[in-house]
Structure 1
Amino acid sequence: MATVLISERVNKNNKSFVVYFRDPLSGKRKYYKTFKMRKDAAAEAARLRVMLDGREYAELAKIQKRHTPLTFNEVADLCRKEWDRRVATGELSSVTGEDYKIALRQLCRTFGDNLLMDITREMILEYRAQVAMDLSVITSNRRLFIFKQVLKRAYAESAVVEDVAAPINYLSEKKHERNKYLKPEKLDELLKACCKTKAKHYLVSMILLGAEHGCSKQEVLDLKWKDIDFDTDTIRFFRTKNGMERTMWLMPRTKYALLHWKKHVEYARHRRKIVPKDDSWVYGHLDGTPRSNFRSAWEKVRLLAGLKGFHFHDLRHTFASNLLTSGGDLKDVKVLLGHRDIRSTDRYAHLSGLRKQDRQVKLAGHYGQWMPSSENKGGLSDFGT
């Protein structure tokens, strides 16, 4: 007798009953139909057994045509190809595409062999909570975003009856926003540590782009020489994340470091007789291929500088925080960081008052110099009891 199974799904508001069967030709379990009532599922399962026992495969294929059961891994491969195509056409940055694939690999380790139609909303919610607890809310939201992309593609491929990930909300990141930043003297220590490594030729300018211009890692890696005008001291950035473009004055230290890196690359290519395939990338390899990351070099410098838990993206916070404490306001931060919404800048509001520190220092000098002391004479006793 043919093997036909009924699986009960329990969602938040209702139940459903899914009918599966074992394909007589391949021996694999396949999805058949989903029902709201058990009695309907049982009746259809009985009819399906008769069809399979009677070898009515043509009729079964006709019914099955509406849905194509696929595993998470199979749809993940389709997503990877789509992201690679978008990277090739410039719709997606290479860094963002790589980040998507890293998150997807993590999801495949957990859900790879599962049929997508077997994945329930509860399974996704449980996974979201587990990642948030083990790693962070931000990582959890990133993986949920990729999960949504896979389920959306699965629905388009008729691999699922409904997209169970679509209505799931992201967790609030407000309490988990990173606000670490370096004061000028600590930034100098980081740059000095950088000069002790082999990566000093390019990493110094990368760090300064982050700290003095508020660049993200993606903006640094996407930078091209045509975006920099050393004659007018201007530099242009484009954020793929929100489509914002901004042009800034090139800070003196950053300009010096970029010119040093440019000269070093030209010298190294000449000495090794390397003709680059593409010399437009600021941080391309000697053969001209774009650099995809600099994680190991950054980690080494961070450890040398004693900055535990400090991320490259924290240099962007360093820029914003020092801009405020040196006299700028939140509107300056919004424009120079390339935020579309002032709400993205609100995390720095607590620092905005520090820009008036120099005025308070002058006020302190304006007042008298007498200070209460613990001595009886001229001390606290002068105030009476």
Structure 2
Amino acid sequence: MPYKRQNSPFWWISYKQADGKYVRRSAGTEDYSAARAIEQKERSRAWREKELGVNPPRTFEEVMIEYLRHASQHQRSFETTQYRVKALRAHFAGTVMNDLAGQDIREYSNKRLEGGASMATVNRELAALSAAINWCNIEREWQLPNPVKGRTLKESEGRVRWITRAETEALCRAARKQRNGEMLEDFVRLAVNTGCRREEMLGLEWRRVDLAGRLLILEGKHTKAGKRRSIPLNEGAYDALRNRLAYRSSHCPNSPWVFARRNGERAESIRAGFESACADAGISDFRIHDLRHTCAAWLVSAGVSLMEVRDLLGHSTIQMTERYAHLAPARVRNAVAVLDNPVSHSRYTEDPEHQGGISLKLVKH
């Protein structure tokens, strides 16, 4: 029978699976009758699987409800997952997942592309579908096919849009004229000098700012990759934070947030002011995330190694950072410069002093 647990508004159910494992989980409803019906359904399903060897049909909705219930408690990007599932549901609603085939995946991809979605967007949506199927197969042992594997689309190289230092100064001048302009300018300057993501900065608390040691501390729960990261502060970033500290002292001394409103609450969005500032500065096709690209572009152009840039930006793989490799022409220039000088050719030559009679020597021509 359904029962209640502390700190949960929902009824909980219990039943034994076909493999003999005992399950206790939330029914996801506050209605006792509905919870009891769900429990009876699960017990009936388990009996059919055990006694009749039946693999019952699983609809798209069943799979996603199970997966989202888990994701809501364990995913930092749960809202993004919900958004992707919404797109999937428009196509797969009512689909029996036991019969899902490669043709269904191709039809979905084609339909989304025809509707204007990018290949990257389609791949992220299919990744959510694949993750849901895999989770149900592992945790619920539903034995569903997963035809997503091997059918993702080939994406073009990631977008890299950045601005020059002169354009950045023009953007900051335009930002100062906006509502809450001082905060917007400090946001821009901190972004281009640290490479932090938007949420990493808007969610930044003073307790994680070490002005004496000139460091920002980002805990794993604050970063996209889930890894702790320390970011050194140069003069540009340091000055921006000192401006925010002066603002806090004057208007909201008890606020824990670096980017706070006058009432001490965290600034949730700066998009409107940012877009207006870009328009006033004559900068087109430029998004908030491109401030991060700008930081990376400046670093690579100045000769900083891709490995160092990867560590600073917190990329999970070096492949993410290699998008900026074309901005380091000095490496290629040094390579081709060798052609202007006498070249050292390597070849095999006889060397009686070598035990095998053959050694690799450098012979200049």
TM-score range, shorter chain: 0.5 to 0.7
Question: Cα–Cα, structure 1 residues 101 and 60, in superposed 2: closer, same or farther, change >3 Å?
Answer: closer
Report what 2:166 is aligned to. Answer: 185
- The structure with the largest alpha-carbon Rg is 1
Aligned match for 2:112, one of 131, 134, 137: 131
* Aligned AA (2:194): H
Contact 2:216 2:230 in 1 (8 A): yes
Is the alpha carbon distance of 1:164 and 1:287 closer, same or farther for their aligned partners in structure 2, counting shifts above 3 Å?
farther
Give the corresponding residue for 2:329. Answer: 353
Matched, 1:72 2:60: yes
Q: Select the residue among 234, 237, 255 that pairs with 1:254.
A: 237
What is the deviation of 1:160?
5.5
- Aligned: 1:83 with 2:52: no
Conserved 8 A contact 2:205-2:256: yes
Q: Give, in whole Å, the separation in 2 of the partners of 1:219 and 1:289.
A: 16
1:223–1:77 Cα change, 3 Å:
farther
Alignment-derived partner of residue 311 in structure 1: 287
Partner in structure 2 of residue 98 of structure 1:
79
Report the Cα offset of residue 144 of structure 1.
1.5
Deviations 1:214-235 (A, max 9, x none): 1123422443322211122222
3-state SS, counterpart of residue 298 of structure 2: helix
Q: Quick one: structure 1 residues 60 and 110, their matched pair in 2 at CA, closer, same or farther if it must change by over 3 Å?
A: closer
Q: Distance in 2 between matches of 1:241 and 1:315?
A: 17
Aligned position for 1:28:
none
Counterpart residue type for residue 73 of structure 2: R
The one-letter code of the counterpart of 1:319 is: C
**One-letter code aligned to 1:349:** A
Measure the CA separation in 1 of the matches of 2:235 and 2:324: 25
- Aligned mates of 1:162, 1:103 — CA distance in 2: 20
**Residue 212 of structure 1: SS of its match in structure 2?**
helix
- Within 5 Å, which residues of 2 pair with 1:198-213? 198-213=179-194
Is residue 187 of structure 2 the alignment partner of residue 196 of structure 1? no
Question: For residues 159 and 60 of structure 1, do their structure 2 counterparts lie closer, same or farther at Cα, with a shift above 3 Å needed?
Answer: closer
Structural mapping, 1:285-300, within 5 Å: 293-300=269-276
Contact 1:151 / 1:165 at 8 angstroms: preserved in 2? no
Residues 1-385 of structure 1: pairs in structure 2 closer than 5 A = 62-63=47-48, 67=55, 69-86=57-74, 92-93=75-76, 96-132=77-113, 134-156=116-138, 161-165=143-147, 167-173=149-155, 175-238=156-219, 240-265=223-248, 267-269=250-252, 279-283=255-259, 293-353=269-329
Unaligned 5+ segments in structure 2 are 1-42, 334-365
Q: Deviations over 1:102-129 (max 9, x none)?
A: 2222222333343433543322232234
Identity over aligned residues, as a percent? 26
Q: Distance in 1 between matches of 2:97 and 2:153?
A: 23
**Cα-Cα RMSD:** 3.5
How far apart are 1:62 and its partner, in Å?
4.3
| TM-score, structure 2 as length reference | 0.65
CA 1:247 to 1:126, structure 2 compared with 1: closer, same or farther past 3 Å? Answer: same
Q: Which deviates the most, 140-149 or 102-111?
A: 102-111
Secondary structure in structure 2 of the residue aligned to 1:235: strand
